[in-house]
Amino acid sequence: MVKIKLGDRAPDFTLQSSTGENISLSQFLEKKNVVLFFYPRDEGPTCCKEAETFRDNYEAFKEKNAEVIGISAQSVESHKSFANHHNLPYILLSDADNKVRKLYGVSSTLGVPGRVTFVINKEGIVKHVFVSQLHFNKHAEEALLALRG
């Protein structure tokens, strides 16, 4: 079950990125759309494929004036290694205590952290939510479709 729904204002947060800097959702508002995707863990087989799908579509996201941000509970060091290993050009944030995951209501399925993508417009309003643990390759596609519409 996801707590944040279509039309809701996306809650602001600040987390540390794979580069060690603090990143807040609010720093992008009024400038860019944000594609915020929660994924279970770095280097998981399906997580790698999902991350690479966002990477392979990164230019299309940039053309839609969207910043892509991935969030999972792994450490900053783990995210740095994951980003380097898979040539990920977008922001990865460490939510070690799952505070932001809980804030957005992204629950676990059979003990595995949930996989949810939110598309947030420049005004901070959630315009699209895609929830699918199994269709990891559709998260980037769904986000791009939402940005077109």
The candidate with the shortest Cα–Cα distance to 100, out of 125, 60, 72, 141, is 72
> At a CB cut-off of 8 Å and minimum separation 6, what does 30 contact?
122, 123
Active site residues: 47
| Beta bridge pairs of residue 70 | 37, 92
Tokens of 15: 């987390």
Tokens of 31: 């400038």
Given a contact cutoff of 8 angstroms between Cβ atoms, the answer to whether 49 and 57 are in contact is no
User: 45-56 and 139-148 helices cross at what angle (nearest 10)?
Assistant: 30
